[in-house]
Amino acid sequence: MDATFKVQRYDPESQEGSHYEEFEVDLPEYGSVLEGLLDIRDHQDGSLSLRCSCRSAICGSCSMKINGESRLACKAMVSDIKETEGDIITVEPMGNMPVIKDLVVNMDMFWEKVEKIEPYLQPTGPEPEKEYLVSNDEMMKLAVAMNCIMCGACVSDCTVLEVDKTFLGPAALAKAFRFAADPRDGAQEERLESYNEPTGVWDCTRCFMCVQACPKDVAPMERIMDIRSMVVENEIDKKGRGQRHIQGFIDGVKHSGRLDEFGLARKTFGFPIWAFELADLGIRRILRLRLPPIIHKSIKSAKNVKKIFENLGV
């Protein structure tokens, strides 16, 4: 199978800067993007730099951008890509991390963020005589997050990290869930307080990029939402905007069946701050005659919706 690879090249010792080079490769029917790159390195240009090891989607070394999306090069089949995305396969280094050379990035920032969430169990109380016992059900909840192979694909595609490098990011926060939700851990409250801080779980914009990018179905964004639920359930920061936003949303839908935008703004920002925070927007809206209904209307069957909330204890 013939394939055209368009590879982003960068050599810090050359004056040329970042640029693209095209290579033609001939691969077996089920050849992966990684095999294509190794073929280029072995037969066409020995200076091509990339990271790889297991070639079986286990080690997490070969994450890179393939046609703009971060994936493991060993798991990305050239034939699939050609069929659905077109003939040219564009390969670039991961995003959000500085490029060292060609497809190799500096992952220091990735590891620093993982370290920040304290990725180790912190049990309290006396040590049990034998091993710590955890039920199957409780372990199953953690299993999804434990599948992470630290490849960096989620961090590479994170839209918040694109604008703010201080965000803890999807990989570290998925790992944070893995420890905060572990029944053997004794530091849950301190963890939730720390993950609730600015740069933590509330900075995620729920864009699903990490869910799409993760090759191991960890769905980091969903794990971030799991931590948010734990923060709310444990009443870690009842006055925090994140929690107030959720509560304001719940109140509106519970009592009227619909989203109450005015009520939500009032409850999220608090009275009378909301009026100041939104003043310029309000004035522009008045000038454009673009006012939403001032009096929020309920749907006729709102009491049935309320009953659903009550029955589920919300």
- Minimum CB separation of residue 213 from another protein in Å reads 9
Contacts of 296 (CB under 8 A, 6+ apart): 252, 256, 258, 260, 261, 262, 263
- Minimum CB separation of residue 166 from another protein in Å reads 10
**Residue pair 215/183 in contact by the 8 Å Cβ criterion:** no
**Residue pair 25/2 in contact by the 8 Å Cβ criterion:** yes
Residue number, 101 or 254, with CB nearest to another protein: 254
**Residue pair 96/162 in contact by the 8 Å Cβ criterion:** yes
Q: How many CB atoms lie within 10 A of CB 83?
A: 9
Q: Checking DSSP bridges between strand 69-72 and strand 99-101, what pairing results, if any?
A: unpaired
Q: How far, in Å, CA of 188 to CA of 194, rounded?
A: 10
Three-state DSSP string of 255-305: HHCCCCHHHHHHHHHCCCHHHHHCHHHHHHHHHCCCCCCCCCCCCCCHHHH
**Residue pair 174/155 in contact by the 8 Å Cβ criterion:** no
Residue number, 186 or 249, with CB nearest to another protein: 249
Residue number, 38 or 192, with CB nearest to another protein: 192
- Minimum CB separation of residue 66 from another protein in Å reads 15
- Minimum CB separation of residue 311 from another protein in Å reads 6
- Minimum CB separation of residue 94 from another protein in Å reads 15
Residue number, 180 or 209, with CB nearest to another protein: 209
Q: Tokens 């997050």 map to which residue?
A: 145
Residue number, 105 or 209, with CB nearest to another protein: 209
- The single-letter DSSP state of residue 201 is G
Q: How many CB atoms lie within 10 A of CB 270?
A: 12
Residue ranges that bind another protein, judged by CB under 8 A: 68, 84, 159-160, 162-164, 167, 198, 202-209, 211-212, 219, 225, 228-229, 232, 241-242, 245-246, 249-250, 252-253, 257-259, 261, 268-269, 280-281, 284-285, 288-293, 299-301, 304-305, 307-309, 311-312, 314
| Apex 145 CA angle, 67 and 122, nearest 5 | 135
Residue number, 68 or 119, with CB nearest to another protein: 68
Helix (H, G, I), strand (E, B) or coil at 295: coil
- Minimum CB separation of residue 257 from another protein in Å reads 4
- Minimum CB separation of residue 266 from another protein in Å reads 12
Residue number, 23 or 220, with CB nearest to another protein: 220
